[in-house]
A and B are shown apart, each in its own frame.
Chain A
């Protein structure tokens, strides 16, 4: 999964169409500043699981604070799955 995939999934979860300005670098912006609360992140994780077959436990999701850390967690989890 790439940062572009995650950007698209985050936009889908917000449900606001043109939500994420492509010029904004989101990798290190905190989920708080992006407006993603724990419920929105649960939906993000559910969509990642559907699309990429990678499951993230709920208590791990709660510790992730940026898109970069979420991507790293997905990579880590997919290595373990293989």
Chain B
């Protein structure tokens, strides 16, 4: 995950070093694990991977900003929404590191479960979902596209839903997560996370943030409400509604500031992108190799876009 940029891109490196320092001993361990060759980091190990996902997203945003590229709107998926909030100035990096530590601690004892991406609409998946808000319910965890829906839930229920979907010919694939993020199983973790949020200073965003919790722009009131940010752990990621609302407001050059190109692929299916009104630029390659080359080429492309 973006290892090639470390030590070569000054701002990216400085931001990550600062983040690792704020994390203390845990930060040093995370850094070693991230830089180990061959890679030693398992993406589905949430306690390590989630803080790193946050930090890389945030550091890439800062890095691009320092190239003179102005961020005019922010939209983040799952933990990425917190990176968006940090880039918008809602909280600082020192507090962000504390939040990441608390988030990992809060989710550590959530029962085993996972996430399952299905090529189907929410309506088509309705018969497979559990009613109500039981802690082990299988629910919609993310609306990633009109026909790309991620289910989240505890085991063994998630596996039984997966088997039924396969029997009925619905293409589906596991997402790298060992826990049911964005499902009711996270409710207690979200409450604990909210207590951590309540101890830090929250400020209104300096750049508009389109929330994947609500599918709309974050208001000043929401931005300073600890519950608003913390409860996203237990509620679905409204990625597509948020993207759709953002692209209805005006056209953008969409820049993906995280590992891989998953969000770029989703955005390319949006009609504003397909019809050439918006361009999509991922900063990193689909896999680890070639990160520095892809990043530098992407920055050049942004500099040449008015």
Q: Which residues of A contact B (CB under 8 A)?
A: 13-21, 24, 32-40, 42-43, 46
The reply to whether A37 and B271 contact each other, CB–CB distance below 8 Å, is: no
B residues in contact (CB < 8 Å) with A: 117-119, 121, 145-148, 169, 171-173, 261-262, 264-271, 273-276, 286
Q: Are A37 and B265 in contact (CB under 8 A)?
A: yes
Would you give the shortest CB distance from B54 to chain A, in whole angstroms?
23
Chain A CB within 10 Å — which of B148, B261, B262, B264 has the most? Answer: B148
CA distance A31 to B30 in the complex (A): 35
Residue picked from A21, A33, A43, most chain B C-beta under 10 Å: A43
Given the known inter-chain contacts A19-B269, A34-B268, please indicate yes or no for A14 contacting B171, CB distance below 8 A: no
Q: Provide the bound-state CA to CA distance between A32 and B145, in Å.
A: 16
Q: Is the CB of B274 within 8 A of A19?
A: yes
B84: shortest Cβ distance to chain A, in Å?
21
CB pair A32 B274 closer than 8 Å: no
Give the chain B neighbours of A46 by CB distance below 8 A: 119, 169, 171
Q: Which residues of A sit under 8 angstroms from B169, Cβ to Cβ? A: 46
The answer to whether A35 and B286 touch (CB under 8 A), given A14-B145, A21-B275, A43-B147, is no
A37: chain B residues at CB < 8 Å are 262, 265-266
CA–CA, A37 and B147, complex, Å:
12
Q: List 25 A-B contacts (CB under 8 A).
A: A13-B147, A14-B145, A14-B147, A14-B269, A15-B147, A16-B270, A16-B274, A19-B269, A21-B275, A21-B276, A24-B274, A34-B268, A37-B262, A37-B266, A39-B117, A39-B118, A39-B119, A39-B148, A40-B147, A40-B148, A40-B265, A42-B119, A43-B119, A43-B171, A46-B119
B contact residues around A18 at 8 Å (CB):
271, 275
Q: CA A42 – CA B120 in complex, angstroms?
A: 11
A19 near B271 with CB under 8 A, answer: yes
Chain B nearest CB, measured from A62 CB (Å): 12
Looking at B173, B266, B269, the one whose CB has the most chain A CB atoms below 10 A away is B269
B221 shortest CB reach to chain A, Å? 33
- Contacting pair A35 B266 (CB below 8 A): yes
Q: Assuming the A-B contacts A40-B148, A42-B119, are A32 and B171 also in contact, with contact meaning beta carbons closer than 8 angstroms in the complex?
A: no
Q: Are B173 and A39 interface neighbours, CB within 8 A?
A: yes
Determine if A17 and B271 form an interchain contact, defined as CB atoms under 8 angstroms apart.
Answer: yes
